[in-house]
Amino acid sequence: MTGPDTGPVTIPADELPFDPSLPWQKSPSVALRPEPFGALVYHFGNRKLSFLKSQPLVAVVKALGEHPDVPSTLRACDVPEAQHPAYVTALATLSRSQMITRRDPS
């Protein structure tokens, strides 16, 4: 990508679009605290606090690091196919706040 008359433009990783076909993981700087509604998610680096409002979403976030991409994680966590778009939207939001991060596929 290039900018006007400035040459190459580098986009920080946290500003890249969420790509569910890539491998993801819960950020190493994030702690999950179980709650009856799901979990509190706290990022120790940027001090952001988020809420996961369902146990199945908590399971997906925890399982991301064990699967090659988001669709396989959703299938492994028995998320119904009709709900996949909503989960991808939720995970995209978590990636923008650095709660989940891309991981090296190896």
DSSP the chain: -EETTTEE-PPPGGGSPP-TTS-EEE-TTEEEEEETTEEEEEETTT--EEEE-SHHHHHHHHHGGGSSSHHHHHHHTT--GGGHHHHHHHHHHHHHTTSEEE----
104 in any annotated domain: no
39 in any annotated domain: yes
Q: Residue 78, exposed/middle/buried by CB under 10 A (0-12, 13-18, 19+)?
A: exposed
pLDDT score recorded for residue 10: 46
Instruction: Spell out, as residue ranges, where the chain has pLDDT lower than 70.
Output: 1-16, 106
pLDDT score recorded for residue 11: 47
Q: How many CB atoms lie within 10 A of CB 87?
A: 22
12 in any annotated domain: no
pLDDT tens for residues 68-79?
Answer: 999 999 999 999
pLDDT score recorded for residue 17: 86
> How many domains is the chain partitioned into structurally?
1
8 in any annotated domain: no
13 in any annotated domain: no
CATH code of residue 37: 3.90.930
Full domain range(s) for residue 43:
20-99
